[in-house]
Amino acid sequence: MNFDFEKTIDRRNTCSAKWDGLEEKFGLRDASDAVSMWIADMDFACPPEVVQAVQQTVEHPAYGYRFNPPEVPQAICLWQKKRFDLTVAPDELVYGSTVLAILAGGLQSMTRKGEGVIIQSPVYYPFAACIRDSDRVVVDNPLIEEERDGKLTYSIDFDGLRTAAAREDVTAMIFCNPHNPAGRIWSLEEQRKVAEICCQNGVFLIVDEIHADLVIGRNKMVPFMKACADHSGHAMSIMSTSKTFNVAGVHAAYGIIPNEEIRQKVKARMGRNRSGEFGYLGAAAVVAAYNHCDYYVEGLCKKLEQNAQTVYDFCRERLPQVRVAELQGTYLMWLDFTRLGVPKEKVERFLLDEAGVILDPGVWFSEKYMGYGRMNIATSNATVVRALEKLEKAIKAL
């Protein structure tokens, strides 16, 4: 079965976080002509099998409390096996409304107030917020930025990681794979090195793999629980259908926690946080997506590869001032606008007011990355080109 990934849906006036309320959110007078490429959801419709499953669920005229049917763990375990050759036992699963809800449960159950938690900036900004909101301390081990073959690329500072992990007050690390927003898929060797350093120092690993399905080109994603099976008793990984199938609004995520003692601690904490279980429509969406929509993922990854290549080519040929990070996984591209001739503290307003292109500002991910931006390319190629042409026009007018 095929899906047309050049066809997008109009989401304006649907209370869409991505497309509505942009004037207030970003301080714009009029966002009607703006190209919205921020927040991580897609402009594509969900797979028709998911839509049908959700519609069948809501046809029942009572929307009361529900628990997950046995088809949910069956679908998750099957997906992990066929997608990653990873064997997961149903009783290793923990369910939650969102990845962040499970992440918070893991963080709060495996660390104490005042302890340090490692992140690797530039990284998904809610990580730092979750750490601080839990009365823990952010310990940043920034990624190493380099330029290779005309593209930005990022690697782990292992010397810095050893130093951070050795601190007595550091007890956990949030490890993002594929990395958002740097676009790296960490190799088997890199993951094992991280796991060894953390385990040697008693640092619990919380692995966010929400974008695991979105692999670009010939890159390969090996989930942490397969790459580091020997360290699985000192870690948890978290996944979701939300990014892959554009179903973030149904609120369904799951953690894989092989260690029973840790799993019970996390479940207990999530219970106290009142953040466990799926939303009402979550089970139907997960089962339909994982059981019937492999074709959708394959088509999506090809579209993302095409869109990423468009960004590479356009910037190389027409916007050489803009540096672009290599995209191995996710649908989020990381761009450096600090060479435009615009002060880096004014880049965000320039992109908004002059170009009319809405990105996630780099400073959200780290103060070091003021003047950078994260571009969501999960849209039609025509929309990507339109955004780039608007950028080009604004830059030429400088």
> Is the confidence at residue 282, as pLDDT, over 90?
yes
- Cα–Cα dist 192/183, whole Å: 19
Please report the pLDDT score of residue 97 as a whole number: 95
Q: pLDDT at position 276, please? A: 79
**200-222 burial code (b ≥16 CB/10 A, e <16):** ebebbbbbbbbbbbbbbeebebb
The domains found in the chain, sorted by start residue, are: 22-47+294-396 (3.90.1150.10), 62-292 (3.40.640.10)
- Nearest-Å Rg of the Cα atoms of the chain is 21
Q: Which residue, among 34, 38, 45, has the nearest Cα to 11 in the 3D structure?
A: 45
Mean pLDDT calculated for residue range 243-256: 97
| Share of the chain residues as helix, strand and coil, in percent rounded to the nearest 5 | 45, 15, 40
What is this structure's pTM?
Answer: 0.97
CA angle centred on 220, ends 214 and 226, rounded to 5°: 100
Please check the confidence at residue 347 and state whether its pLDDT lies above 90: yes
Q: Are 345 and 311 in contact (CB under 8 A)?
A: no
pLDDT mean over 98-123: 98
Alpha-carbon distance 313 to 318, whole Å? 8
State yes or no: pLDDT of 173 exceeds 90: yes
pLDDT score recorded for residue 368: 96
Q: What percent of the chain has pLDDT over 90?
A: 97
SS3 (DSSP) at 94: strand
Spatial CB neighbours of 245, under 8 Å, sequence gap ≥ 6: 46, 47, 50, 285, 289, 293, 296, 297
What is the reported pLDDT for 233?
95
Return the pLDDT at 218: 97
Q: Are 277 and 68 in contact (CB under 8 A)?
A: yes
Residue 277 has pLDDT above 90, yes or no: no
CA–CA distance, 345 with 168 (Å, rounded to integer): 36
pLDDT at 275 over 90: no
Q: Would you state the pLDDT for residue 369?
A: 98
Average pLDDT of span 4-28: 96
The helix-helix angle for 126-133 and 99-110 (nearest 10°) equals 40
Give the 3-state secondary structure of residue 64. coil
Q: What is the mean pLDDT of the chain?
A: 97
Q: Are 324 and 312 in contact (CB under 8 A)?
A: yes
Instruction: Give residue-wise pLDDT tens across range 298-323.
Output: 999 999 999 999 999 999 999 999 99
The rounded distance, in Å, linking the Cα atoms of 123 and 143 is 9
Mean pLDDT of 146-175: 97
Task: Give yes or no for a contact between 96 and 255, defined as CB atoms under 8 angstroms apart.
Answer: yes
Q: What is the mean pLDDT of residues 210-238?
A: 97
pLDDT digits (tens, 9 = 90+) for 382-397: 999 999 999 999 999 9
Residue 237 to residue 126: CA distance in whole angstroms? 17
Confidence check: pLDDT of 1 > 90: no
Q: Answer whether residue 6 shows pLDDT above 90.
A: yes
Averaged pLDDT, 43-68: 96
Using DSSP, state whether 67 is helix, strand or coil: coil
Instruction: Write out pLDDT tens, residues 124-152.
Output: 999 999 999 999 999 999 999 999 999 99
Identity of the residue numbered 161:
L
